[in-house]
Amino acid sequence: MSARSWRFHTGRLLLAAAAIGLIGWSLGIPLTLLIIASLVYAGWHLYNVWVLYRWVQNPTGDVPESYGVWADLYQGLNSMETKNLKQRTQYRSMISDFTSLTDAFPDATLVIDENDTITWFNKAAMRLLGLQSPQDLGSPITNLLRGPDFANWLSVAGEVQSPLEMACPRGDGRWLTVSAVSFREDQRLVILRDTTDIHNVDRIRRDFVANISHELRTPLTVLQGYLEMLEQHPSEEVSDWVTRMLGQTSQMQLLLDDLLELSRLQNAELRGEEEIVNIPAMLMQLKEQAQELSRKKKHSLVFEITPDLFLSGIAIDLESAFVNLISNAIKYTPKGGEITVTWQSTFDGPELAISDTGIGIPRREIPRLTERFYRVGSDRARKTGGSGLGLAIVKHVLIAHEAELMIESELGSGSTFTCSFPPERARSKQEIL
């Protein structure tokens, strides 16, 4: 109701009171008439209050008929109720659309609160995980997805990290990829995707690579043996052919070794147990190997090692990654160049950096360096050899250790490969004494 309308009704009320007062004064009973008029007026308002109460109980009915201020009030309330009804209809439609949309998701989707308690899930979660509504609402998600790997992953799922691959808790042989997204301060969206087919294809691929590598290794070894015998042939022409064939078989042997190593790293069952690894001692051994490899090129090798900085991890895997990085630096650094290996503790955690003054890498090529069999230029690959799997091996090792590989390079000025490990993997010498 507008202020103008209120002033109008108030004026009418005052005029009516003045008229009643004048009539009462003319009849000699002004007070009595005013009291009667007041009671009638109050009774009219009380009646309208009762009508309003009844209408509020069922606002969908017809708007009560009245006049004056009550007519304006009824009209205003009816307008508000109409708007509220329209909004409720819209909200119900939105909720219905959202429910239909989430039910159409092929991925299991759950909402959990700050206590990791399930507050909502879609139909895909019911099919994939066997959840039931409303029985499982309010249950901790860790009661349904059991295992230390999931519990540890979930504890930091609000941070940026890779999805978790795990076996389906129903024990039906399926595999799930789990990811989480924080959409409120106290709520997270957990998404589980059935990746059984992808997992099986990947397993078949790994088995194929491992089997074919093993099958090829034996005849290749035999072939190398015969070629080494033929290398002593008196004919210079034959000897030259044999030398070339030996170079090719050596390249094939290197490829097979790297394929087997990559296959082992991708198979969790073949990986070793984590332990406290003496990285300084490992790097000192690798220094001796690096000196032997770079002897012909007369590289300047500098190893700056923090002596008491150890690491929690798998020693054989870490050594494989470090060997690949150091050998790459030796391979792509020209004669007389400098290679620096630094093992130190930083604010972000333990860090291994391998810097060289080599030929460098084009900036556009850096994002693809860790892809399998990727080479930077065919001419470069022919000159240096290699399987094209070294950095792929490094990548897998670092992923398994929650570490990150950063590459900085400039053509003609050299490159720096940095392995950054999380702080919680740092260990001290005292922990193994």
Q: What backbone torsions phi and psi does residue 187 show, to the nearest 5 degrees?
A: -140, 150
CA distances from 148 to 27, 189, 276, 339 (A): 96, 20, 20, 41
Instruction: Report the alpha-carbon distance of residue 371 to residue 389 in Å, rounded.
Output: 8
pLDDT at 222 over 60: yes
Q: Is the confidence at residue 1, as pLDDT, over 50?
A: no
Least confident window among 103-117, 197-211, 333-347, 404-418: 197-211
What are the pLDDT digits (tens) for 9-25?
555 555 666 666 666 66
Domain with CATH 1.10.287.130 in the chain: 199-266
Task: Decide if 390 contacts 258 (C-beta within 8 A).
Answer: yes
Helix or strand run (H / E) with residue 353: strand 349-356
**Which letter, b or e, does each residue of 12-40 get, where b requires 16 or more Cβ atoms within 10 Å of its Cβ?**
eeeeeeeebeeebeeeeeeeebeeebeee
CB-based contact 144:207 (threshold 8 Å): no
Over pLDDT 90: what percentage of the chain?
15
Phi and psi at residue 388, in whole multiples of 5°? 80, 10
The pLDDT assigned to 270 comes to 52
| Better-predicted residue by pLDDT, 163 or 312 | 312
pLDDT at 305: 92
Phi, psi of 377 (to 5 degrees): 85, 135
Distance CA 295, CA 307 (A): 26
- Phi then psi dihedrals of residue 345, to 5 deg: -100, 130
The average confidence (pLDDT) of the chain is: 76
Residue scoring higher pLDDT (384 or 27): 27
Residue 361 backbone dihedrals phi, psi, to 5 degrees: -130, 135
Q: Which residues contact 426 (CB under 8 A, 6 or more apart)?
A: 309, 310, 311, 312, 345, 349, 350
Q: For residue 209, give both structure tokens.
A: 């690579």
Helices (H), 130-235: 148-155, 196-230
The predicted pLDDT at position 18 comes to 62
DSSP assignment, residue 186?
A: T
pLDDT (mean) for 154-166: 69
CA distance 15 to 43: 19
Give the number of other CB atoms < 10 A from CB of residue 192. 24
Tell me if residue 282 falls in helix, strand or coil. helix
Residues contacting 164, CB < 8 A, separation 6+: 149, 150, 153, 177, 178, 179
- Would strands 300-305 and 338-346 be described as parallel, antiparallel, or unpaired? parallel
**Rounded to an integer, what distance in angstroms lies between the CA atom of residue 103 and that of residue 120?**
12
**Where are the CATH 3.30.565.10 domain residues in the chain?**
273-432
For the chain, residues classed under CATH 3.30.450.20 are 105-194
Per-residue pLDDT tens over the stretch 300-346? 899 999 998 999 998 988 998 999 899 989 988 888 899 999 999 99
Q: What topology does CATH give the domain 273-432?
A: Heat Shock Protein 90 (3.30.565)
Is the pLDDT at 137 greater than 70, yes or no?
yes
Reported as a pLDDT band with limits 50, 70 and 90, residue 386 is low
Name the pTM for this structure.
0.51
d(Cα 304, Cα 354) in Å, to the nearest integer?
10
pLDDT value at residue 61? 63
Task: Kindly tell me the number of DSSP H helices and DSSP E strands found in the chain.
Answer: 11, 13
Which CATH number, 1.10.287.130, 3.40.720.10, 3.40.50.1820, 3.20.20.80, labels domain 199-266?
A: 1.10.287.130
User: Nearest to residue 111, comparing CAs of 180, 26, 30?
Assistant: 180
CATH for 105-194, among 3.40.50.880, 3.30.450.20, 3.40.50.460, 2.60.40.10?
3.30.450.20
Backbone dihedral angles phi then psi of residue 352, each to the nearest 5 degrees: -115, 125
**Structure confidence at residue 69 (pLDDT):** 67
Using one digit for the tens of pLDDT, what is the confidence trace for 388-412? 677 888 888 898 888 999 999 888 8
Q: Give pLDDT, residue 408.
A: 92
Sorted by sequence, the CB contacts under 8 Å of residue 45 that are 6+ apart come out as 70
Convert the pLDDT of each residue in 273-308 to its tens digit: 788 999 999 999 999 999 888 888 888 899 999 998
The answer on pLDDT for 428 being more than 70 is yes
Residue-level pLDDT at 236? 64
| 241-263 confidence digits (pLDDT tens) | 667 676 667 667 666 676 667 66
Bridge partners, 405 (sequence order): 419
pLDDT band at 166 (very low <50, low <70, confident <90, very high): confident
The four Cα atoms 45, 49, 54, 55 give a dihedral, to 10 degrees, of 90
